[in-house]
Structure 1
């Protein structure tokens, strides 16, 4: 007999028992009942697959029988969703309306409405489209374009024109569904030369010259000539150095000059700065234009490693760009110029100076400059930083000889609150979808179910996710709730048996690798999402590229045949850990160099080491890693390693003796 939704919390109780930290309640379900429920759930999943086959065969009789058997199953609404979707081109609106009525405020209801709107738009059923479209929910460009078309034909034409203008004024190509409404708008005179120019400029700002060329074809000769010149400047910004040419009509060329100067600065900031001085002497740019250009110049000087150019700019202009000031502070660190380090930190906004990073470095600079004479001021700054559970907090605590501040405070959520959240239909559907391998839909159901939750509900959802082994959703939930002190949820001991086993195996075959660092890398890479995929093609918990996995598998003896094997936690952790151990071996058992190499590649790390020539202390080397992503990555991995040791009942220093004493 099928399991009812009301009975499911009893099954959850055993999985959520660990949450009852101070509760004396025990699960009333006997083991036999759990076995029966598990068997029934398995049967229901099998029946669900039969229902999908019945839909494909159009076997309405069998489908009706299966629906009756699955009426209490969490995924029962999916049967109607799949069945209606199969015939949606025929627009069975009576069935769709019934489905939408029964599934209001659910993920499935919203997805069905979106599918219906796409079909109505494709078929040009715009009057009906207005009945189903919900402006506050449907923000996809394709649906908005259909909406604009529907309004222009059967609704508020003024509102339609306003919407079309918004859709037009973007620097990228819009969805093809926008083409018909744009064409009708142009034929009716809605596209002015000014609107063509505005989009042409936006396209070039987003470095989309193909779209800009297409837009220019719609311009009349005066605008077309100016657009041609703008594209030439976009391609060759040094054309702006012919000052007399562009200053013949300075106001007319204003936006062209600004765009060209931005482009020029990206290639040669020093030349762009001189050009900016020449043009700003003749053109009265607005305060916002001046501020934006100076900020852009400052960042380009920093990106191009032109410290002299940036210093000259800051001497002549009042630069308030925090990123540029921080870059100058790091450049001073790289030169071990502690006076300049302190100088630039003092020029950061007061609120930014109080961040643990800059508290640590200000204290460090005072110690280097004045030794014990400023120990009181330095100790106070170190003390503030040491309150944080972070890389800089741990560094500051080490400087003071103090214990680390972990501040573990479990989320104040009761088992009753957790069970109440776990019973929600959306979360039950998410769990079942995960169980049958529909991971994409499972994530969508979870995200939909949690998006309107308040602080307490999110924390309870985090507990549920942790109990279900959805560690990435557990982490996501506590971050969304902005509750950062429940270390059990933020830093779960995920896949513990695999991690411990792999750590021991790696130690026997290669450089020793603590389980805490494996946890830390997996936490940083994927938040323990075993099916994570990056834009670069990295897969799984420890985000390995298939090429890296193949090479590591040959050396380690780990079984690996195809890229999808990396979605297996056991395979991914084994290969990722062995690869990490090879990096430790290559970089003399230095964990922060190995972490940097894991993120940026060992070749880049070797290059950075060659550039610094063994003259920088460990903390300065890490702080001045050229890639901000790698810098953050290394700092997080070190801090997370300490936190995972703490979670495992072990006291671990942020840095080993060989790491703390190293010069790089």
Structure 2
């Protein structure tokens, strides 16, 4: 790959005018960079040291230097680390190295050097670093307002074991700035997420003598509960609470029986409410009507967290319990209530039944606050207000100067170079840093549009889309919803009776139009087709002599992906939400998820048990509606694409029983 094929003419001319040898060295060193990345992944310090001199002068030299120093950071002297950060001042790699160093300084409890380095940390997005910084301010007698809540929020958000927020929480607990209940709640989150080490770390703060019991209750919750006839004292009660939470994760009905028949009288009202909430959540994820009975045992919604309350809302939506929907949303945190999902359903709860003028006015205000083309619930809110989904007016065209500024940005150029070279992860991080993370409030809208335009022009569609999506006051539809390979996609879709907008909506969510995209489970190409699914579909549509390597061919991938999508759509009687769910999670799951009451498809989609699939279905349908508005030039309806979902008509034959 030639450097001049990737960098902008403006930057290349500047390089050629001043440092022609540098350009040649960068070209020769491409293979070296790729080799260094692999050595870094293997932890091969010796190889990195050997290769580093050959990477000097390459446009991606900051990455080479970062990889080499990062693997030996624990042994490096402060002067060497400072020298690295001075050499690459202002770059993503400088800030990434400072982030890594701050974590190491925090683990070493080197508060003086941490305090010296922290003000220069620009990304400020590492939760552990934030917790260390809040702790240091407290130690220095300069506590930040709301520090305890900030530490709890960051600690709760970390799923895996950490030092920064766990240590800060321990110190704040010792100083009586966070409560025992705050710490026990972290243990509850950990047990619910099956993170035993995280649970032990939390329990060690508040009840160190009970740490050994965490393993017992995690390994065999029923045995643990049976061995304890009563529960006395907060630690004992909380351990029983943890055991019931663990039991609920695998057998919610048994947990309900244990709580109702034995343990309820031994727990506090808050503990009972939490356990009933976890039981209800687990039953709701199984789409069981028992979920509503479990949630009905809760005496105070404010005792629950937003995750449990979200599942209480979903179960109530399935049962048509609109008052429960509204009350549960009201009990969420302020942040939770502002999520467009719960704004929309709160508005719907106000409009259910026979609303008065006040309820209608409040609902309208909520809907107006989120209505736009930006997402699933934003589009539904628009339709609730009596409007259809139309493309917003385009912003003023970018000027030549705005485009030139983006194309001269070194960080954007390094990001694109890395992506083209095959270092996609590094390139994406470089690009994101250049466009957003290190700038207070983010890059201004016009600069984001210019950066997105740069990516679009180089056909790096994921950066084009993601960058344009960050604009706040304007929407550039052509950037957010590009139509690469238009002839191939539209012709293929039309030839088999598929809506091209639906195909584009799915591809945008699957791969962001990255040709060589490959998922962690092995799906490949634009439409992310699994090998076994590709073979089955190829045979089904009469594609002879198909081989696995053909799935990465653009036209073959589109042909097989659209064919499978059409087969799924036919199997689910034209239901776009169900076919999208089948494409993501396999057809067997949505066949089960459809059983139960006939539901508004928006309620059905919100109750999809898998978070990834739930998000996927909503985004594919919102994408489809936007693409339809753009491709046809006519206002569209998301609701019209949703319809209702219920059990399969017993008289209707299954179209494809063997659909994989």
Residue 343 (1) aligns with residue 331 (2):
no
The correspondence for 2:499, drawn from 514, 535, 542, is: 514
1:388 and 1:405 in contact (8 A); partners too? no
Q: Distance in 1 between matches of 2:606 and 2:451?
A: 36
- Secondary structure of 1:552's aligned partner: helix
Q: How many residues align?
A: 568
Give 1:486's aligned residue: 476
Which residue does the alignment assign to 1:233? 217
Q: Which of the numbers 580, 586, 606 marks the counterpart of 2:571?
A: 586
What is the aligned counterpart of 2:490 among 491, 500, 503?
Answer: 500
Deviation at 1:425? 1.0
Cα 1:281–1:472 change in 2 (3 A) is: same
How far did residue 476 of structure 1 move? 2.0
Q: Deviations over 1:605-629 (max 9, x none)?
A: 33345x359x556666556555554
Could you tell me the TM-score, scaled by structure 1's length? 0.64
Q: For residue 355 of structure 1, what is the aligned residue in structure 2?
A: 343
Any idea what the Cα deviations from partners look like across 1:452-493, whole Å, max 9, x if unmatched? 343333343223222222221122223344457332222222
**Residue 194 of structure 2 corresponds to which residue in structure 1?**
207
Which of the residues 403, 410, 431 maps onto 1:425? 410
Matches within 5 A, 1:527-606: 527-556=512-541, 557=543, 561-562=547-548, 569-606=554-591
Is 1:455 matched up with 2:444?
yes
Which runs of structure 2 are paired with 1:68-467 in the superposition (5 Å)? 74-75=59-60, 100-109=85-94, 207=194, 229-239=213-223, 245-247=229-231, 249-251=232-234, 253-266=236-249, 267-268=251-252, 271-272=255-256, 275=259, 279=263, 281-282=265-266, 289=271, 292-308=274-290, 310-311=292-293, 313-314=295-296, 317-320=299-302, 322-332=309-319, 340-349=320-329, 355-357=343-345, 359=347, 363=351, 365-366=352-353, 384=367, 387-389=371-373, 391=376, 403-410=388-395, 414-450=399-435, 451=437, 452=439, 453-456=442-445, 457-467=447-457
Q: Distance in 2 between matches of 1:242 and 1:530?
A: 56
Q: In the alignment, which residue of structure 1 is the partner of 2:616? A: 633
Change (3 A) 1:95 1:245: closer
Whole-Å separation in 1 of the counterparts to 2:642 and 2:194: 44
Contact between 2:388 and 2:636, CA under 8 Å: does it hold in 1? no
Structure 2 CA distance for aligned equivalents of residues 284 and 78 of structure 1 = 54
Change in CA separation of 1:202 and 1:596 when aligned onto 2, cut-off 3 Å: closer
Distance 2:72 2:604 in 1: 62
For 2:583 and 2:630, how far apart are their aligned partners in 1?
24
**Contact 1:204/1:234 (8 A) holds in 2:** yes
Report the Cα distance in structure 2 between the residues aligned to 1:258 and 1:132, rounded to whole angstroms: 43
Distance in 2 separating the partners of 1:599 and 1:50: 36
1:397 Cα deviation after fit? 7.2
Is the contact between residue 540 and residue 572 of structure 1 (CA under 8 Å) also seen in structure 2? yes
The structural deviation recorded for 1:519 is 0.8
Give the structure-2-normalised TM-score.
0.64
User: How far, CA to CA, are the matches of 1:577 and 1:116 in structure 2?
Assistant: 48
Closer/same/farther in 2, CA of residues 50 and 353 from structure 1, 3 Å limit: closer
Q: Aligned with 2:301: secondary structure? A: coil
Cα distance in 1 for residues equivalent to 2:312 and 2:104: 53
Matched-pair contact (CA < 8 Å) for 2:622–2:638: no
Two-structure CA RMSD over aligned residues (Å): 6.2
Q: Provide Cα deviations, 1:242-271, integer angstroms capped at 9, x if missing partner.
A: 597333x53452332221222233323574
Q: Which runs of 5+ in 2 are unaligned?
A: 37-46, 133-138, 140-151, 164-179, 303-307, 331-336, 649-660
Unaligned stretches of 5+ in structure 1?
A: 13-28, 30-35, 148-155, 157-165, 176-193, 333-339
Change (3 A) 1:573 1:234: same
Give the corresponding residue for 1:474: 464
- 1:239 offset after TM fit, Å? 4.5
1:423 is displaced (CA, Å) by 0.7
Aligned 8 A contact 1:294 1:319 in 2: no
Mapped to 2, the partners of 1:395 and 1:570 lie a distance apart of 34
